[in-house]
Structure 1
Amino acid sequence: MIERRQFNEARRITISEIAASTGLNRMTLSKILNQRGYGTGTETIDKLCAYFGCQVEDLMEHVPDVENGSPE
């Protein structure tokens, strides 16, 4: 979504800008971007959806756990 917004606005968008606009902690945003499987709350997702003007499914997808051999 960051890349899409950068393209639409023809400018670079930083994590710090998103943090300032949403009231979310910069470290939280960094973890969401960089740590696969990082869990976050619905309030955070709601703020990101409002910022990007998108739906939840635009921010995340379900990836089945294949380690134990069966999707959950």
Structure 2
Amino acid sequence: MAIIVRLDVMLARRKARSKDLAAFIGITEANLSLLKSGRVKGIRFETLDRICEYLDCQPGDILEHEPDAEA
């Protein structure tokens, strides 16, 4: 997929724990793990907004577009 999720990088930069972020957003740690690994088909803007609020960042700090080499 051409969208790379850099959520783990932002968590490390902010010295935040996945468990605390999941609780703040209102999702399970398992779903946050799926999101961090990029194994989701989409993300709600509301969820993205809560992540950015918690980590004090912009959506572009978490999501990156990397064109496929084959395209």
In our comparison, the structure showing a higher alpha carbon Rg is 1
Match of 1:63 among 43, 59, 66: 66
Opposite residue 11 of structure 2, the aligned amino acid is: I
Displacement of 1:24 after TM fit?
Answer: 2.4
User: Aligned partners of 2:65, 2:39: CA distance in 1, in Å?
Assistant: 10
- Counterpart in the other structure of 1:40: 43
Percent of aligned pairs with the same amino acid = 34
Normalised by the length of structure 1, the TM-score is 0.68
- Counterpart in the other structure of 1:26: 29
Q: Which protein has the bigger strand share?
A: 2
CA deviation map 1:9-67 (0-9, x unaligned): xxxx3322111122222222110112x3533222211110011011110011012133x
Pairwise CA RMSD: 1.7
User: Aligned partners of 1:37, 1:63: CA distance in 2, in Å?
Assistant: 16
Match of 1:3 among 12, 17, 30: 12
Q: Secondary structure at the match of 1:61?
A: strand
Normalised by the length of structure 2, the TM-score is 0.69
CA contact (8 A) 2:24 2:50 kept: no
User: Aligned partners of 2:58, 2:49: CA distance in 1, in Å?
Assistant: 9
Length, aligned pairs only: 61
